[in-house]
Each structure stands twice: as structure tokens, then as C-alpha cells.
Amino acid sequence: MIFLNYLKKLIEYNSNPSSKRFIGLVAGLSLCVYMFVFPSDAANNSVLILSLGALGINAAEKLLKK
């Protein structure tokens, strides 16, 4: 129950649900599961590229808002 409340708070920000966070969380978890089930260089690289891309897009959004 505590874990579900934590996930709910993680997805919501100021009582507003964030679909971007939810999709990012699900995509990240599914890529990590894929990486462990089918270990390969391509799986490792895809997790790395998507993680770096998401962090870069998030940083750009914060900078462009100002």
C-alpha cells in the first residue's frame, strides 16, 4: 500500500497527474526488463540513448520556459 501511494505521488505533481511522467516511468521500466531478459549491446545502447534523450529534453524544456 505504501508503494502504491509513492507511485501515485510520483506520477502527480501538485495534485495534477502527469502523463509524461507515467509514460517515462513505464517505458524506462520496460526497457530495463528487456535489457535483463535479452542482454545485448543493442539493448544497453537503447536504454542509454533514451535516458540521455529524455534528460536532455527535460533540461531544454526547463531552460526554454524562462
At 13, is the secondary structure helix, strand, or coil?
Answer: strand
- pLDDT, position 21: 72
Nearest to 54 by CA among 18, 27, 14: 27
- Please report, for the chain, the start and end positions of each structural domain, with discontinuous segments joined by +: 2-65
Across 41-64, average pLDDT: 77
Mean pLDDT, all residues of the chain: 75
Structural contact between residues 24 and 54, judged by C-beta atoms closer than 8 angstroms: yes
Looking at residue 38, what DSSP letter applies? S
Assess whether pLDDT exceeds 70 at residue 24. yes
- pLDDT, position 38: 82
Assess whether pLDDT exceeds 80 at residue 54. no
Provide the percentage of residues in the chain whose pLDDT is more than 70: 76
